[in-house]
Amino acid sequence: MTEPIHAVTLDLDDTLWPIAPVIERAERILHDWCVRNAPKFARALPPEEFALYRRSLARELPGIAHDFTALRHEALRRALRHYEEDPALADPAMDVFLAARNEIELYPDAQAALDRLAGRYRLAVISNGNADVARIGIAEYFDAVINARGAGYAKPDPRIFQAASAALEISAQSMLHVGDDPDLDVRGALTAGARSAWLNRHGLPWIGDDVEMVEFSDLLQLCEWLGV
């Protein structure tokens, strides 16, 4: 018999807010800061080139590839040194980036959905990203925040979902995970034994084998399905 849902876990980026404009703005703010404080680095590695450098470093350092904060910090430190800037500038540079990265605008449905869901279910975050729900102002909704940096592994690794079920002290089978990514969120949750909801805001076709899931175009549809 299927267990009742006791908790809802949520992805963050592209689930509660659109991430592309946030990262684009944060990268621009970081670059402008570097122009003033580390001009040789800024000239050599504008945002697009620095992104390529980070990706190559992720392949070189798979032990921190899941940790976007550690990877960016190490990329900054190495690149600053390479271009004859002070590598200690990596610390304030990260502060600048993370402050901008946490200035987000929720999707129109997100706040109301969080209010409704939190009134009925325990909520947790499962995210590969480095958003800070406390800085964003939504920490009050969540009983647990599980991210790749803290867990030591990233979605779709089943252990990150299992970490959430352990933090909530419930079985994975009684957890519904909601996210936008078919592989990281939907298939990842199912592999871990949780139930899964695909948040398909843009009406994309499902690719690959069919799986047991529910699909919604926004979070208010999810609330209606759950009866909250």
Q: What is the pLDDT of residue 2?
A: 75
Q: What is the pLDDT of residue 196?
A: 97
Rounded CA separation 117/220 (Å): 10
Cα 15 → chain centroid: 9
Edge to edge, the sheet with strand 144-147 lists: 144-147, 122-127, 7-10, 175-179, 195-199, 214-216
- Determine whether 37 is exposed, middle or buried from the number of CB atoms within 10 Å of its CB (0-12, 13-18, 19+): middle
The segments of the chain whose pLDDT lies below 50 read none
Q: Percent of the chain at pLDDT above 90?
A: 98
Fold (CATH) for 20-101: Four Helix Bundle (Hemerythrin (Met), subunit A) (1.20.120)
Domain boundaries in the chain? 7-18+105-226, 20-101
Residue 197 has phi, psi (to 5 degrees) of -125, 130
Burial string for 7-21 (b: 16+ CB within 10 Å, else e) reads bbbbbbbbbbbebee
Q: What is the pLDDT of residue 160?
A: 98
Asked if the domains 7-18+105-226 and 20-101 are classified in one and the same CATH topology, the answer is: no
Give the model confidence (pLDDT) of 191-213 as tens digits: 999 999 999 999 999 999 999 99
Give the model confidence (pLDDT) of 28-62 as tens digits: 999 999 999 999 999 999 999 999 999 999 999 99
Strands 122-127 and 195-199: unpaired
- Determine whether 50 is exposed, middle or buried from the number of CB atoms within 10 Å of its CB (0-12, 13-18, 19+): buried
- Supply 97's token pair: 């980036």
Fold (CATH) for 7-18+105-226: Rossmann fold (3.40.50)
204's CB contacts (< 8 A; 6+ apart) are none
Strands 175-179 and 195-199: parallel
